[in-house]
Amino acid sequence: MSTDPHALFDIWLADATASEPNDPQAMCLSTVAADGRPSARMVLLKGHDAGFVFYTNLESRKAGDLLATRVAALTFHWKSLRRQVRIEGAVSCVSDAEGDAYFATRGRDSQLGAWASDQSRPLDRRETFDDRFEEIKARFDGGPVPRPSHWSGYRVTPDRIEFWQDRAHRLHERRLFRPDGQGGWTEGLLYP
């Protein structure tokens, strides 16, 4: 088994992609607000390099939490494989070039939705959003949809990655990786 947590993650994600019926890239993003209030929600992994990348509205509640604390936790749970991966680390913004490149891969309606959404803000009724979406659709009719300035991505650079594998009698296997300070990782086994 790999001693590089990023390589091991790639293996586990490939296994999940082959076996999970829906959204193997789904991960729970946990944040903490400046006042210490925790919050969790599901987002999709959209890139994996030295960190784990997801995209969102920069005016959302999650973005406010990330701006305030600059840390987050991610949890992948692949039920059919009886595995999970827990990641904790510092958060940084992706570059404008990265944000633009990813935005260009999204479906047109998803691009338009990024313009129309006031994510995390209450609306008086659904039709308000639907009307706004139609206005944005008309605004960009026949042309490309640029990435809005209020929409981009974040990278969670891990300082802790834990791989959890279900075992009989709740005697699970847990492998914890932490940076060794020299560009590598130290590994420890945790037990239930």
Provide φ and ψ at 52, rounded to 5°. Answer: -120, 120
> Is residue 169 a contact partner of residue 153, using CB atoms and an 8 Å limit?
no
The pTM assigned to this predicted structure is 0.90
> Is residue 26 a contact partner of residue 78, using CB atoms and an 8 Å limit?
no
Q: Region 121-139: what's the mean pLDDT?
A: 84
Residue type present at position 23: D
Distance, in Å, from the CA atom of 192 to the CA atom of 189, rounded to the nearest integer, reads 10
Residue-wise pLDDT tens digits, 22-53? 899 999 999 999 999 999 999 999 999 999 99
Known catalytic residue at 170: yes
- Burial of 18: CB neighbours in 10 Å, binned 0-12, 13-18, 19+: exposed
Catalytic one of 61, 83, 170, 174: 170
